[in-house]
């Protein structure tokens, strides 16, 4: 069967339009999905408890060239005694493919509630640290980071 000129044009146009349309649809959803994933991850950690700002200090450089290795440190104010200590520290991101970055479980034996590590950031975004105290309360701190070269590039982000 021979393809007529009209059929050929329609097919070509459809083939060209398909990936563009898919990409255009993907992008707005992606941002919303990641936001939802962040909220979900936060809820999984804190449940229905209220998260207050303070006591936690999250240190990140405000501007980073390479998102593949960003120095991050968290320090939580706490006497670290048996009666009053930090039970866990969680770090979450809003725009990475997965919201979770790192979780730490502590006991008074840690002496100080601190963590220093290096993380990957996929985009310019807000990073949040949440600390769970032994009395069940949650405290948090956020830091904004501008990333020039993103880590873990995917089609959705380019």
Partner 1 sequence: MARAVVTVPAQAKRGEIIEIKTLAAHAMETGFRRTQTGELIPRDIIRTFTCTYNGVEVYRVELHPAIAANPLIAFTTVAIESGTLSFQWVGDNGYSATEIAPIRVE
Site residues (vs partner 1, CB under 8 A): 68-70, 73, 93, 96-98, 100-112, 114-121, 151-154
Question: Are the CB atoms for 129 and 46 separated by under 8 Å?
Answer: no
Whose Cβ is closer to partner 1: residue 68's or residue 142's? Answer: 68
Nearer to partner 1, 5 or 127 (CB): 127
Q: Which is nearer to partner 1, 77 or 100 (CB)?
A: 100
Residue 78 is classified by DSSP as -
10 Å CB burial of residue 9 (0-12, 13-18, 19+) is exposed
Q: How far is the CB of 55 from partner 1 (least distance, A)?
A: 17
**CB closer to partner 1, 94 vs 141:** 94
Residue 67 beta carbon to partner 1: minimum distance, rounded to whole angstroms: 9
Those residues with Cβ within 8 angstroms of residue 102's Cβ, 6 or more apart along the chain or in another chain = 90, 91, 115, 117, 119
Report the Cα–Cα distance between both ends of the chain, in Å, rounded: 41
The residue among 110 and 133 lying less far from partner 1, judged by its C-beta, is 110
User: Which candidate, 56, 80, 67, places its Cα nearest to that of 153?
Assistant: 67
Minimum Å gap between C-beta 28 and partner 1 is 20
Work out how close the CB of 8 gets to partner 1 at its nearest, in angstroms, rounded to a whole number: 28
CA distances 38 to 12, 44, 80, 113, Å, are 40, 10, 29, 24
Q: Least distance to partner 1 from the beta carbon of 5, Å?
A: 33
């Amino acid at each position: 069967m021979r393809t007529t000129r009209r059929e050929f044009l329609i097919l070509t146009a459809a083939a060209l339009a398909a990936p563009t349309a898919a990409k255009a649809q993907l992008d707005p959803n992606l941002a919303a999905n990641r936001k939802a994933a962040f909220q979900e991850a936060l809820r999984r950690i804190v449940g229905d408890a209220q998260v207050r700002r303070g006591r936690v200090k999250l240190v990140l450089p405000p501007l980073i060239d390479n998102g593949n290795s960003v120095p991050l440190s968290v320090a939580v104010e706490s006497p670290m005694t048996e009666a009053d200590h930090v039970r866990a520290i969680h770090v979450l991101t809003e725009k990475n493919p997965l919201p979770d970055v790192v979780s730490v479980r502590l006991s008074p034996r840690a002496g100080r509630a601190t963590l220093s590590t290096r993380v990957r950031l996929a985009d310019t975004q807000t990073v949040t640290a949440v600390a769970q105290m032994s009395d069940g309360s949650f405290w948090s701190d956020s830091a904004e980071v501008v990333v020039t070269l993103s880590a873990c590039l995917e089609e959705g982000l380019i």
